[in-house]
Structure 1
Amino acid sequence: MTAQSKPVATTSPVRGVAPFFAPLQREFDRVLADFSGFDLSDVLGPSPRMDMREVDGGVELTVELPGMTEDDVHIDLEDDVLTVSGEKKSSTETRDKGFRMVERRYGSFSRSVRLPAPVKADGIKAALKQGVLTVTAPLDADASSRKISIPIKSA
């Protein structure tokens, strides 16, 4: 006499997960949902958002640096790596019905990006306007490796 086996479900209602993993998957989904709106910069420190795009004959890099001045930011180029660094100081103050709350975020930051091609170091320009740093660098196939600092001008 042979024992008849019942069909075993290979998936569960939780996105095709094996039945014994379903509770774990549900818990994982719940934890991720709890983190919606969570700002990793609160844990990891401030890190400015950066975009890079190719423009006619060069590269343009934009970096969000709200509340910062030219004196707070440094830009360096070493070989084909452009680095934007500085120190960010931010505070928020709330006053309501006799209490005062101040939230401050301080910290240094550094973002580096490898440029897609060599650039003319002496042609790099940087401007900071309304919290957005724009760095433009003309391409140069004959550029040699070196390290320079790029001055920032008010726009």
Structure 2
Amino acid sequence: MQKYDYIQNMVTRDKKIYAVYAGVPDVSIMALQVKNQLLAEYKTQDIRNFDELFDFMEMISKDEDDEGNNRILTSTLDLLKYAVIKAGYYPFAYIPGSDIVFKIDDSECKPYFIEDTNIIELFFEEFQRFFEKSYFTDNLENHKLANIRLTAYFASTE
């Protein structure tokens, strides 16, 4: 562990190990998959951000039948993970209900409750309009064709 002394200093106190360093995801993206047929039907080349995605969903909703098959298949946990990373934090654990986060650049690894950060505000700034229009779904059974999927990917470059 001599090669990573700075990590050992972060996770030990009084020669006792209090954490096992597993790395922090330093690359995080949301991957959007939209069927080509749907893009062509609405004359859309690509969707590069959430504003464009919302505009695309608005176009679809004007023409949509009552069944509402063209919803974005995603999980609220993936959306929350995105907000956590975008706000400059990382979660204590990537599990549902993880409400403790750490600042990415904090060498002391001070824990914060998620509600004591700007993460929730950022989450709603980005996604509230989608929730208000019911553009998200996490129910694969009711999402017959899964025309649109939004997934979070977190990877380390180490």
Structures share a fold, TM > 0.5?
no
More helix by share: 2
- Between structure 1 and structure 2, the one with the greater Rg is 1
TM-score in terms of structure 1 length: 0.21
TM-score in terms of structure 2 length: 0.21
